[in-house]
Amino acid sequence: MKLYMTPGSCSTGIHILLEELDKPFEAYIVNLPAGDQYKADYVALNPKSTIPMLVRDDGSTLTEFQAIAWWLARTHPKAKLLPDDPDGEATVIETMDYVVGTIHGQGFARIFTTTGFTPNEADHETVKARGREIVVKGFALMNDALDGKAYIAGDFSIADAALFYVEFWADKIKIDLPANCRAHYQRMLTRPVVQRVLREEGYR
């Protein structure tokens, strides 16, 4: 398989899941600031111009964090990256959708890609502030979801890889994580696979 990724981005979560599976894959760096995602060869593979993208063994491509994570879990059941009951699986999908769609897509996106929300430089700080509000509220909800649990669904799952990458971003830009999220983040950082992935992506 081939993972198209950007170090320190949402694709870090998929990188973690692939390493958890201990499956061989090739990593290809997509330099987002340089506009690699809009180059013809990449657009030919992924017209969405997004990351992560997974090229599977049969040559077919899969995009969107939730879809890739779910497919990896379902095609490798022995890894137990998904709960085996409908309620647990629904919790995992619900969490991933909220983390990726809201905390990332509505919150951090306003902070990191402010110009995508307004061309008016005078509005940038307002947009960033709104993004921060969304992020803080999101972590408050995730904090409640983690109450009394080590991981979102009890045991480590694909949802934890999603939550980790936004916790990682919060840590890097000094957004305080509430207690349960902070504990989850620290717990994830102790996992050997997470440590290896961060080293491979250039973080210490």
pLDDT tens-digit profile, the chain (204 residues): 999 999 999 999 999 999 999 889 999 999 999 999 999 999 999 999 999 999 999 999 999 999 999 999 999 999 999 999 999 999 999 999 999 999 999 999 999 999 999 999 999 999 999 999 999 999 999 999 999 999 999 999 999 999 999 999 999 999 999 999 999 999 999 999 999 999 999 997
CA angle, residues 41, 49, 156, in degrees to nearest 5:
115
C-alpha–C-alpha distance, residues 38 and 70, integer Å? 26
Note the pTM of the prediction, 2 decimals.
0.95
CA distance 113 to 6: 15
For residue 99, the 8-state DSSP code is I
Q: How far is CA 167 from the centre of its chain?
A: 9
What are the structural domains of the chain?
Answer: 2-78 (3.40.30.10), 86-191 (1.20.1050.10)
> What is the DSSP code (8-state) at residue 176?
P
